[in-house]
A = this chain, B = another copy of it.
Amino acid sequence: MNDAFQLNPQLASDCHHIGTIKNIELLLHKNAVVPWFILVPHTDNEDLLALAREERIEILDLASRVADYIRSHTDYKKINTGSIGNVVSQLHVHVVGRKHDDDCWPKPVWGNLQTESSYDAETIRQIKDIICT
């Protein structure tokens, strides 16, 4: 746990802030071309698999809740999950909805999305309502 947690500026700039749940920042990537959430736990540890077991379980529990949201509320039924951190070293976990005719299927989204679209404020409010309450 890191009480002096500060969100990496690149993540802050790339994403909408959805909420803070159990010391994990839940972000939504601004590119709405696929439903792409990013979880950022309050830790100085840079690798998911180097965390204490209980911390890892908490993050995966929230990731699973986000995946449930994507499957229930969008037509993206396949979920890609990853924690890479080669560019932004602050530990973050991607939860990304995918479908066979999406922008870069079957490639992973990282570095491969070709188009961009934006969320409107009402959609972001709805996502916050559903996931955070």
CB proximity to B under 8 Å, residues A59-108: 60-61, 63-64, 66-67, 71, 78-87, 95, 98, 105-108
| Known pairs A50-B79, A79-B47; A86 contacts B67 (CB<8 A) | no
| Known pairs A80-B84, A82-B83, A107-B86; A53 contacts B47 (CB<8 A) | no
Q: What class of interface size applies to chain A in its complex with B? A: 20 to 34
Residues in B whose Cβ lies below 8 Å from that of A84: 80-82, 108
Q: How far is the CA of A87 from the CA of B80 in the complex (A)?
A: 12
Q: How far is the CA of A85 from the CA of B80 in the complex (A)?
A: 7
A25 at the binding interface (Cβ < 8 Å): no
Q: How far is the CA of A22 from the CA of B82 in the complex (A)?
A: 23
Residues in B whose Cβ lies below 8 Å from that of A71: 50
Instruction: Say yes or no: A83 contacts B86, CB within 8 Å.
Output: no
A111 at the binding interface (Cβ < 8 Å): yes
Instruction: Say yes or no: B86 contacts A63, CB within 8 Å.
Output: no
| Known pairs A60-B60, A87-B106, A106-B87; A67 contacts B81 (CB<8 A) | no
A32 at the binding interface (Cβ < 8 Å): no
| 15 A-B contact pairs sorted by A residue (CB < 8 Å) | A47-B78, A47-B79, A47-B81, A49-B67, A49-B81, A53-B61, A56-B64, A57-B60, A78-B86, A80-B82, A80-B84, A86-B98, A86-B105, A86-B108, A108-B111
